[in-house]
Amino acid sequence: DAKTTQPPSMDCAEGRAANLPCNHSTISGNEYVYWYRQIHSQGPQYIIHGLKNNETNEMASLIITEDRKSSTLILPHATLRDTAVYYCIVSPRSNDYKLSFGAGTTVTVRA
Amino acid sequence: ETGVTQSPTHLIKTRGQQVTLRCSSQSGHNTVSWYQQALGQGPQFIFQYYREEENGRGNFPPRFSGLQFPNYSSELNVNALELDDSALYLCAFRRRAEESPLHFGNGTRLTVT
């Protein structure tokens, strides 16, 4: 599976949009981009995934560049409860039960 | 709330002992995956069970084994515990086959002394 690169940490202000970048320059054509987050003392929580089109759900938006080498997760109105480690993962759908979690980005939302 | 329940939540064992961790899902499904998360690291895939058979394994030795039951609950067994086995152990289910992402439980924190 392709590897991803994320900044180790970032801060954002409560109520503002949080834009989390992810580089996946070696992504293959059949690999999806998945985002999970892990709030302290909990298991990972699925956020969103996409192949090449931008995706939006009730939690976030996923913007994938046209060459698919990078993506951005957008939390439109960050709250204190969004403080968590965010993981960007690329995987074929056929292997998405064995996700390769990296170190992720620790996002701290400040009041 | 993911509907995935793991027990126990915390456990302390001594090096060389054996441990069994349990996982169940409210909705139930025929695929369950187990992950190990060491402190400060991302989860690492251990194995997956599909219809009571192991059908995928990460880089873990055979002393890590599992079971899946007809009601889709699952166990993770670890023999001959080592200090490095201290970690958070997570299980994950799908809601529907191949149509939904993984939904994780909150894990079992295992400490080996």
Partners of A41 on chain B (C-beta within 8 Å) are 106
Q: Which residues of A touch B4 (CB under 8 A)?
A: 43
Distance of CA A22 to the CA centre of its chain: 7
Structure tokens at B73: 């609950």
Does the pLDDT of residue B94 top 80, yes or no?
no
Strand order across the beta sheet in which A18-23 lies:
A18-23, A70-75, A61-64, A55-56
B92 has a pLDDT exceeding 90: yes
Confidence label for A9 from pLDDT (cuts 50, 70 and 90): very high
Q: What is the pLDDT averaged over residues A22-28? A: 94
Nearest-angstrom CA–CA distance, A24 and A29: 12
Average pLDDT, chain A: 93
Least confident residue range of A2-6, B43-47, B93-97: B93-97
- Residues in chain B closer than 8 A to A87 (CB atoms): 42
pLDDT at residue B3 tops 90? no
Closest chain B residue by Cα to residue A32: B101
CA-wise closest residue to A43 among B76, B54, B9, B99: B9
Non-local CB neighbours of B63 within 8 Å, separated by 6+ positions: B78, B79, B80
Helix, strand, or coil (residue B84) = helix
Q: What is the pLDDT of residue B28?
A: 63
pLDDT of residue A1: 59
A45 has a chain B CB within 8 A of its CB: yes
Top residue of A1, A98, A106 to mutate, by most chain B CBs within 10 Å, is: A98
| A82 band by pLDDT with thresholds 50, 70 and 90 | very high
pLDDT tens string B30-58: 789 999 999 999 999 999 998 889 989 99
Distance of CA A67 to the CA centre of its chain: 17
Of B101, B56, B92, B94, the closest CA to residue A35 belongs to: B101
